[in-house]
Amino acid sequence: MQASKRIYCSFLLLIVLGGMEKIQAAGDFDSFLKPLFAAKCIKCHGGGKKVKGKVNLKEIRTEKDFLARPKLIKELIEVIDGNDMPPEDEPGLEVGARPKLLAALKEMLAQSTSGKKAGRARVRRLNRFQYNNSIRDLFKLKKDVFRLPEKLMTRQGNYLAQGGGKMPEKVEVACLSLLDQGGFRDVAAFPRDLRAAHGFDNQANQLTLSPLLLDAFLKLSVSILESPDF
C-alpha cells in the first residue's frame, strides 16, 4: 500500500513539474526574447526604414505572433547558432546569453510545429556513385566495384583524412570515363541514374526504386560477393 502511494505521489510530482516547465517556457518570450530582440535586433530588423534581410522583428508583438512563424524561428536559430548574428560590427550577446537564447528559440520552434503534419518524404535510394562508395568504405576495397563511365569530374584521393579542417591548396580531380578502371569482374551494375535539373543525379524525385531496379540491386549485391576480385 505504501509503495503504491509513493508511485502515485511521484506521478503527480512529474505532472506538476512538467506543467511548471511549460509555464516557464511560455513566459520566455515576454520576459527574455522580446526584451533581447529590442536591445540587440530591432535596430536593424525593424527599427529603421530599411529592414535588413527582410526580417522585421518589430512586427512580432506577442508570443502568438512569434509562434505563428516557425520558418522565422528556424532561421533565427541557424544564424545565432552559426554566430552570424549579431554581426561583428554590432555589440555581441552577453556571456552565457547565446545558449539560453538558442534553448528558448528551440522550445518555441517545438511549440510552433507541434501537431502539424510534416511534408510527405520521398523514399529514395543510393545513386551509382553513392552505392559504389558505400561498398568500398564498408569492405575497405581498393577499387570501384563496377565501372563508372559517367562524364563527371570527381575528386581523386581522400584529402579529408589529412586532418586540420582546412581545404588543401591543390585538389586532384579527374573524369572517370578517361580512367582505365574496369571495376570487379562479373559484377552486374545497375543502369545509370537519370539526371535531374542542372545535371544533378542525387535528387530524391529521380532516385525512385521500381521492382525491376530492386531486383537489379539484389543481383548486384550477389555478383559483388561472388566476384573473383572481391
The answer on 83 and 14 residing in a single domain is yes
Is position 123 within any domain?
Answer: no
Q: How far apart are CA 26 and CA 209, in angstroms?
A: 45
Nearest one of 64, 68, 61 to 34, comparing CA atoms = 61
Is position 142 within any domain?
Answer: yes
User: Over the stretch 208-230, which tens digit does the pLDDT of each residue have?
Assistant: 888 888 888 888 899 999 999 98
Q: How far apart are CA 56 and CA 41, in angstroms?
A: 9
Is position 118 within any domain?
Answer: no
- How many Cβ atoms from other residues are within 10 Å of residue 4's Cβ? 8
The answer on 134 and 107 residing in a single domain is no
The answer on 191 and 106 residing in a single domain is no
Query: Per the structure, how many domains does the chain have?
Result: 2
Is position 207 within any domain?
Answer: yes
Which of 2-16, 135-149, 187-201 is modeled with the greatest confidence?
135-149
Copy the grid coordinates of residue 67.
Answer: 509562434
Domain boundary among 55, 86, 113: 113
- CB under 8 Å to 80, separation ≥6 — which residues? 98, 101, 102, 105
Is position 31 within any domain?
Answer: yes
The answer on 109 and 46 residing in a single domain is yes
Nearest one of 16, 24, 18 to 100, comparing CA atoms = 24
Q: What is the pTM of this model?
A: 0.45
The answer on 39 and 79 residing in a single domain is yes
Is position 91 within any domain?
Answer: yes
Domain boundary among 78, 113, 148: 113
Range of the domain at 156: 128-226
Q: How far apart are CA 94 and CA 138, in angstroms?
A: 46
Nearest one of 15, 25, 105, 97 to 69, comparing CA atoms = 105
Is position 106 within any domain?
Answer: yes
Q: Is 105 exposed, middle or buried (0-12, 13-18, 19+ CB in 10 A)?
A: buried
User: Over the stretch 43-89, which tens digit does the pLDDT of each residue have?
Assistant: 788 776 777 777 888 888 888 888 899 999 999 999 888 888 888 77
Greater model confidence, 23 or 122: 122
User: Over the stretch 121-146, which tens digit does the pLDDT of each residue have?
Assistant: 667 788 888 888 899 899 998 888 88
Domain boundary among 84, 113, 142: 113
> CA–CA distance from 228 to each of 132, 141, 142, 179, 200 (Å)?
17, 13, 14, 22, 33
The answer on 16 and 107 residing in a single domain is yes
Local structure of 116: helix, strand or coil? coil
The answer on 144 and 75 residing in a single domain is no
> CA–CA distance from 64 to each of 58, 60, 106, 129 (Å)?
14, 9, 16, 47
